[in-house]
């Protein structure tokens, strides 16, 4: 008789997916839904065949620096994997998979939500009404920036960046410009006539809205900093649904405080969920709690994708979404 495959799910998942997992494996669920500590993650590596982490589980190199690792696969629930040290996982003989595609549209929807909210001062207006401070319609009250026809600059023109381009261009007639490691030539760039900015400076200078869709990690850490922010128009908005550490928070706070840019819409932060408290004092920033993929359908599809990857792996096949 072969031993059952032991799997650890580090956070609560949609009920349908948890139920399906339990049919196929010996599963430990995290009923408290509290993020695991480093020690718990190390112990899990020694006691489970598979661990299914999320963006909240930091797995740096030191975590893998232990003896008797049993874990063979990290089935990440999420497309981004900058919270996992891939080289260390590989050296420990662990496969890593992720969940691309299924969250593309919902994440781009949140970027568009933030763009609209930041441009039209949506969160600020909501706060004003709730505080009972609205004194009535007035021709100069809370005037804001137009979205339709404004230029959208996209940094990182992968799946989510391109979905954002589609929504903005076809929904709001926005001219699209983008910055990416290489020029992209496909049907979308042809139909939208998306313009490739070889340099970040060109994109920052030309955009009315800058939306970040690049991966997190060492290569993009603080790509948006005091210098690159200074290239933006004073009327422009920055939207971040990628990863918090792509933006130097302190530099952004300074730019917003001095009205050097018009606004920002953020879904992700450095050191989540302990974001820099100074953001809370600014009227011109819209803050969401990392909701990019948070629709019922998307989160369920993400879980089912992890299941597919695990099924392939334990059947001896190459998982479709293998990262390493
Ligand atoms: C991802 O998939 O990387 C998201 O940020 C988590 O929802």
pLDDT tier, 204 (very low <50, low <70, confident <90, very high otherwise): very high
Question: Is residue 103 in contact with ligand 1, taking CB distance under 6 Å?
Answer: yes
CA distance 142 to 137: 10
Q: pLDDT at position 1, please?
A: 63
CA distance 80 to 55: 7
pLDDT for residue 25 is more than 90: yes
Q: Mind telling me the catalytic residues? A: 243, 272, 290
62-86: per-residue pLDDT in tens? 999 999 999 999 999 999 999 999 9
Q: pLDDT at position 2, please?
A: 79
Ligand 1 pocket test target in 54, 59, 78 with most atoms within 8 Å of CB: 78
CA dihedral 42, 46, 47, 53 (to 10 degrees): 50
Query: Strand, coil or helix: what is 264?
Result: strand
Question: Is residue 98 in contact with ligand 1, taking CB distance under 6 Å?
Answer: no
Residue 170: CB atoms within 10 Å? 11
What integer is the mean pLDDT of 186-199? 98
State the chain's mean pLDDT as an integer. 98
pLDDT tier, 232 (very low <50, low <70, confident <90, very high otherwise): very high
CA distance 116 to 119: 5
What is this structure's pTM? 0.97
Alpha-carbon torsion (296, 176, 155, 115), positive or negative: negative
């Amino acid at each position: 008789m072969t031993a059952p495959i032991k799997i650890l799910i580090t956070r609560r998942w949609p009920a349908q997916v948890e139920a399906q997992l339990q049919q196929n494996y010996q599963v430990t669920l995290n009923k408290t839904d509290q993020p695991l500590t480093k020690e718990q993650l190390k112990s899990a590596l020694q006691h489970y065949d598979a661990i299914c982490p999320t963006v909240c589980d930091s797995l740096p190199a030191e975590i893998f620096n232990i003896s008797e690792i049993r874990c063979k696969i990290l089935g990440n629930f999420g497309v981004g994997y900058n919270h996992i040290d891939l080289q260390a996982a590989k050296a420990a003989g662990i496969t890593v998979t992720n969940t691309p595609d299924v969250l593309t549209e919902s994440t781009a929807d949140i970027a568009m939500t933030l763009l609209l909210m930041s441009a039209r001062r949506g969160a600020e207006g909501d706060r004003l009404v709730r505080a009972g401070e609205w004194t009535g319609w007035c021709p100069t009250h809370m005037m804001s920036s137009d979205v339709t026809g404004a230029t959208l600059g996209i940094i990182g023109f992968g799946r989510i960046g391109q979905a954002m381009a589609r929504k903005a261009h076809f929904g709001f007639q926005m001219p699209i410009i983008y910055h990416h490691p290489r020029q992209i030539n496909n049907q979308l760039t042809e139909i939208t006539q998306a313009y490739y900015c070889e340099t970040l400076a060109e994109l920052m200078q030309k955009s009315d809205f800058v939306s970040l869709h690049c991966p997190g990690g060492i290569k993009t850490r603080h790509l948006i900093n005091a210098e690159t922010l200074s290239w933006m128009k004073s009327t422009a908005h920055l939207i971040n649904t990628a990863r918090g550490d792509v933006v130097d928070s302190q530099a952004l706070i300074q730019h917003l405080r001095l009205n050097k840019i018009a606004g920002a819409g953020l879904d992700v932060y450095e050191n989540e969920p302990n974001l820099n408290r100074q953001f809370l004092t600014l009227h011109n920033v819209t803050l969401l709690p990392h909701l990019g993929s948070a629709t019922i359908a998307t989160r369920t599809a993400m879980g089912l994708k992890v299941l597919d990857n695990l099924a392939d792996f334990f059947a001896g096949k190459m998982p479709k979404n293998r990262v390493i």
